[in-house]
Each structure stands twice: as C-alpha cells, then as structure tokens.
Amino acid sequence: MTYVGFIAAEKLADVVSTPKFEVEELETDLVVSQRDVLAEGVVALSLDDPTGRPLPGWTPGAHIDLMLSASLVRQYSLCGSPADMHTWRIGVLRDPQSRGGSEFVHDKLAVGSTVRVRGPRNHFSLVSAPRYQFIAGGIGITPILPMIEAAEAAGARWHLAYGGRKRASMSFVEDLSAYGEPVTIWPQDEQGLLDLHGILRNAREDTLVYCCGPEALLSAVEGACASWPAGALHVERFAAKPGADQPASGALETFEVVCQRSGITLNVPAGRSVFEVLEDAGVGVLGSCMEGICGTCETAVIEGTPDHRDSVLGDEEQARNDAMMLCVSRSLSDRLVLDL
Amino acid sequence: MNPNYPRDCWYVAATSDEVGSGLLGRKLLDRPVVLYRLASGEAVALEDRCAHRAYPLSRGRLEGGLLVCGYHGLRYDTAGACVGVPSQPNVPYGVCVRAYPVREEPPFVWVWLGQPGRSSLHSPPKLPWLSGEGWSSSGEMACLAANYMLVHEHYLDLTHIPEVHPEETPPGLKEMPALDHVSVSETSVTYTRTLPPAELADWEAEATGLPRDREYKRRHHGTFISPAILAEGWQIDGGDGQPYEQARIHAVTPESPARTHLFSWFAHNFALDRVLVGQRLHAVMAKVMREDVAVLEAIEATAGYEGSAAGIHLTADAGVLQVRRIVARMLATETGRTSAEAGRAPRSAPARKTAQSG
C-alpha cells in the first residue's frame, strides 16, 4: 500500500530511535522535473516531490535554500505560482564571481537530479496595499514575478521597472512585456541605468516599493526612498549589506542573554555569536545562513538594546529594537531578554 | 476580542452532504453565507443577506436556479446579481449580494471569504486520506463556543490525551511524550513524536485485531497546513511490517471570534472490508471530540483565547509557538503592516497595538 502523507512525516519503519528534540526548518529531497534556459546565463529549474506529494504553501517573496553540499547552501527566490502545490520554480544566474553555488546548479543539476531543499521562508512578504512599485535588477526579477501575479489577482495597481545589462541577459522579458503599460524594460546597453529618480521622485502614501537586485541597485533605491514613509520600502538581499556587520558604537564584547520562556541565562563571550551560545545550551533556535541575510533566526527582544548587524530588518525595524537576528547581531546593553 | 483569523485562506464551509437542493445558512468568519447546489451539481456560496432589507436569503427558496428571497421575493443569480423584483418592472441597476469563490473536493465544500481575486493564488489543501484509495473515512461536526486558535493549539499539543481521554490512552502510558521533531516552513509546521511501547487500548485492539498480550510502538505526526486545516497521523507498528495508520483531519473554520465550526474527519487504512471497525473507530472519535469540545469551551469561558495564549509555555508547546508565528505573519501581511512580532500570539493589528502600549 502506498503511503500518503505530507512531507517530513516519515514512516514508522524509518525511525530507528527517538531522535533528540529539535525544531528545524523543513528539509526535503526534491527532484528536478524541468530545466529551461531563460536568458543568457540563466536557467530555471522546476522542483517536485519525488513521490508526488503536495509541497507546503508559500507566498510571493519566499525563498528556499538549495543544500548543494554540506558547505554549499544557497538561497533562491521562488518564481513560479504560489497556486502550484506540486512544483517549486527557481531561476539561477551563472555567476563566475560566485562561490560555487550557481556553477553547481548550472553544471550538475539536470532533469532527474535530486537536490536537498530547506524552507521556504519569507522575509520579503508582499504586504497588502492598493499600489506597488516593483524594481528589479537582473536575476532579482525572480521574487517579483509571483508578486506581480498577486498584485494582479488582488486588483492592485502596480508598475515594474526592470533593469538588466542587456536585453538578451534578462529573463521573462517576453512574459512581462505582455502586461503592457505597467512594465518598463530597461536594458542598460540601450538606455543606461534605471531612472530611479524619475520612478521614486514622488513619495506616495498608497504605494509600497519592492526591490530586488544587485547591491548597487539596492543602495541606490534605499537612497532614493529616503523621503518615503517609513516601512514603504521592502528590499531582498542575497548577500550581506556592505558594512552591516560592523559593530555600532557602544557595542559590548561580552553580555548576558536571558531566555525568558526557558528561564535560562547565558553569557555571550567575545568571538561567539548569540546563536552559537543558545544552540550549545540546547535552547531551540532556528538558523540558516549565519550571515544575517535569510531572517530565519529572527527572535523577539523583550528587553535590552541589540547591536543590529543584519541585512534583513529595515532601519525602522532595527530602531524598534523589538526583534534581532541571533546569528550576527550582538548587544549595546549588558543584558538582552529574548522571547525564547 | 478582534478577529484573529486570516481571511485570505480557503476554509471548509460545509460537508458535501450538507449542501443539497435546499438552502444552508451558516455564519463563517463573521459573514452570513448561504450555500446551495445547482442542478448541475455545482455548489454556490452567496452572502446570506438580501440587499433590500437584510432578510437571510437562506430562509427563501430556489426557483429554476435563482435564489428567491423569502421576504419580498427579490431574485438573485449564482453570481449574486439581483435579476428580478416582483413589485416593479425594472431591475435596480447594480444591486447584488457578494458571491464567494467555492471549490468542492468531497467530503468538503471550501469557501474563500478573503479578497476575492486572491483566491486564485491559493488552493484548498489535498487531503488524500479522505478521498484516496486505500482509506476509509467518516467524520463528525461541531460548532463550539471557542476561538479557532484554541482548537488548533489543542490538537497541536496532544500531551493532554492521558488526562482528557483516559479510556482511549494505551494502558501503561502514563504520560504523552513531548514532540521529538518540529519542522517549519513559511506556512506550515510538521511535528512528530514517538511513543514508548505500550499495550493496546480497547478500541485499538478491536479495530486492528492485533493480539493484546504485547506492547506496540506508536508514532504520531501532524501538519498545520493552514489556519483552516490540521492533519494528524497515528501509526501503530503491528510488528508484521504493516503500519496500522489512522489519520485525523481537523477542518477548523472560525464562525466568529468566540465560536468555531469544527469538522473532524477520521480515516484508517486497515480492515477496510470490516464495516464494524469503521463504526467502532467513528464512535471512539466522536466521544473524543465531545471531550475535546468540553475542554475548549471551558477555556474560552474562563479566559478567552488571549487569556489562554498569555499562559506559560512548556516544552510541549514547540509546535504551538511556531504556528502562532505563522498566523501572526499572515495577519500582518493582510492588514498591511510591515512586520509581525515573532513568537507572539496572533491577534489582529489594533489589538496588538493596544497590547504593545500596555
């Protein structure tokens, strides 16, 4: 009899002993069911459960980890439709400067290959709004695609400014052009850099800005949105923000962390992260990238002032001091009380 | 309290059996909804409130595929548009009641009460235990006086079993072990636990036909699939290489902040040719459900969901806490807030603001 169930619910026979209690992100093996070349240097992979079970739901802006080897874990945005319960789709740019992730995906993953996947998680959620300004640079278009589908479905007004080096290197141009007026395709070799000033000149109360792309674009958009209402700009980074990891003035080398729910107090010494200290003490925490970019280890702060060194929280969110990323952020106060 | 349920989600409105040629009126997520079935077999869900004097349309009648209000006879089509008023020749322009997207996957009729366009971005979850080959299933419904999150949190923490359901607990099992693994994604939480070997409870012995003179390993797993659905699986290792599997599917549909429609469906994959086994399992699960409802209504009456959620946390709450994060994020995204508060009990935006400043 075939077993039907949801992913991660193993058969009894697979369990040899009672494992140690853990809270982890969902991890599962998926199979590449389709591989398409989308543009110069860009492939799209479709990933399915090998036994055809439905995959967990996700919302626009979500990404997954591909666990290509023990030391090679890379994040890719889901670019298919959230309504598709059986396939996750990612777009991957071959980056010669990369640390091996995109090369592996391009060279080693073919139809039929099995790949270990973790997630999805989402730190780029599409918040409900009447109007959206989407800004994508190059492969940063991937999380924006399901956002456009959602904005269309909800009847929201939207505009996409999509820049890239040249037209041939830009994925999904044909599909996007079909939308007509709300889409501006902006190849750099034809038109120069995106006219961010023109796009973002007038701050609007009714509009949320979603931007994904290379660091230079993100920094420029952050600058251009300085006069926009707090919380209007949402960005997604795949590398740590330059300088984000630098300590703020007054950062303490050592401090105390109190886990309020567990009733545990721990000392964080110099050279060790809050995450490492908590994990060693057996406090259940989730973590993934350990670079302050994926948002998995976000934890509510009840008391104390964190020294934020992550690239996930916006300036306004950091200033609220009610949440922190345990993997990189430290403390400005002697004592941090966490909701753990 | 303010509603703490996401609206952009497919919820079970009724069972397929309930939606027939008559009119079924039901309050779902604070909205009055009338459900009925066309001659073609297609199920329809409309706002259960006439656009004229707010009389419930479910008290009217169906006439040739049109829904006729039982007060002044206004006629509505399946899209909710008013197409006839007996007392005047012209039809008022643009008069309609809301029509809600419906999907049917027996045994359930699902309805979308959120932003209408967003329904196409989501699908009701597949529940193969209730429709797939190799399983036999039946279910019970209740409308209980408790917030829907109390229901989820009850089934997410089954360490209550020996206290609440002593007769159904395997003999010798003094306490239910906490979860041994919790696995989280953006929208789902899956958890597993392994039980120490124990003898069979009466109902397990009768259902499986396994010999009673031995101890058996059991495994429990569950998945919070959405705010509308929690699926649980129980496996008894019969020692013959064949796991005896049971699935309990809880479809949880808020009626209002303090009332919930609960559709608990129960499936098993063994002794499919023995009708009495199915009947026995159904009777046990119906009893268990009554006991669960009594507990949940007592908590709601004492403290409400917010009071309950403010209680202390135990190791067994690992799944509960992850689900609260997911629901809080869903609510924040829907209400247009920029970030959810990690690990806090889900409340609607205004309530959260009050709690923050207090």
Provide the pLDDT for residue B1: 61
Q: How confident is the model at residue B173 (pLDDT cuts 50, 70, 90)?
A: confident
pTM for this entry: 0.86
Chosen domain end from A121, A146, A166: A121
- The whole-angstrom distance between A296's CA and the closest CA on chain B is 10
The answer to whether position A247 is within a domain reads no
pLDDT at B350 over 60: no
CA–CA gap between residue B253 and residue B248 (Å, rounded): 16
Q: Helix, strand, or coil here: A270?
A: coil
CATH number of the domain bearing residue A210: 3.40.50.80
Q: Which residue has the tokens 């992850």?
A: B322
**Same domain, residue pair A87 and A159:** no
Give me the domain span that covers residue A145.
131-236
Contact indicator for B221, B191 with CB cutoff of 8 Å: yes
Q: How confident is the model at residue B252 (pLDDT cuts 50, 70, 90)?
A: very high
The answer to whether position A332 is within a domain reads yes
The answer to whether position A217 is within a domain reads yes
Contact status of B334 with chain A (Cβ, < 8 Å): yes
Q: CA geometry: angle at B44 spanning B41 and B47, to 5°?
A: 165
The answer to whether position A246 is within a domain reads no
- CB < 8 Å to B334, chain A: 128
Full 3-state SS string of B27-61: EECCEEEEEEECCCCCEEEEECCCCCCCCCHHHCE
Pick the CATH number of B128-317 from 3.90.380.10, 1.10.150.120, 3.40.50.1370, 3.10.50.40: 3.90.380.10
Q: CB neighbours (10 Å) of residue B274? A: 13
Provide the pLDDT for residue B356: 32
Contact status of B192 with chain A (Cβ, < 8 Å): yes
Provide the pLDDT for residue A62: 96
- The whole-angstrom distance between B232's CA and the closest CA on chain A is 10
> Residues spanned by CATH 3.90.380.10 within chain B?
128-317
User: What does the block give as tokens for B213?
Assistant: 């003179």
Which among A9, A125, A286 has the least Cβ separation from residue B192? Answer: A9
User: Which DSSP state fits B9?
Assistant: S
User: What does the block give as tokens for B260?
Assistant: 């919930």
Provide the pLDDT for residue A97: 77
Chosen domain end from A207, A236, A265: A236
Provide the pLDDT for residue A8: 39
> Residues spanned by CATH 2.102.10.10 within chain B?
10-121
Q: How many domains does chain A divide into?
A: 3
Chain A to chain B, count of Cβ pairs less than 8 Å apart?
A: 165
Query: How much helix, strand and coil, in percent to the nearest 5, is found in chain B?
Result: 30, 30, 40
Q: What would the pLDDT profile of B221-247 be if each residue is shown by its tens digit?
A: 999 999 999 999 999 988 877 789 999
Architecture of the domain delimited by B10-121: 3-layer Sandwich (2.102)
CATH number of the domain bearing residue A73: 2.40.30.10
Q: Which residues of chain A have pLDDT under 70?
A: 1-22
Chosen domain end from A209, A236, A263: A236
The number of helix segments (H) and strand segments (E) in chain A equals 8, 19
CA–CA gap between residue B91 and residue B72 (Å, rounded): 14
**Same domain, residue pair A205 and A276:** no
pLDDT at B198 over 70: yes
Q: What would the pLDDT profile of B266-306 be if each residue is shown by its tens digit?
A: 999 998 888 889 999 999 999 999 999 999 999 999 999 99
The answer to whether position A69 is within a domain reads yes
**Same domain, residue pair A111 and A72:** yes
Contact indicator for B226, A57 with CB cutoff of 8 Å: yes
pLDDT at B349 over 90: no
Q: What would the pLDDT profile of B102-150 be if each residue is shown by its tens digit?
A: 999 999 999 999 999 999 999 999 898 998 788 999 999 999 999 999 9
Contact indicator for B170, B161 with CB cutoff of 8 Å: no
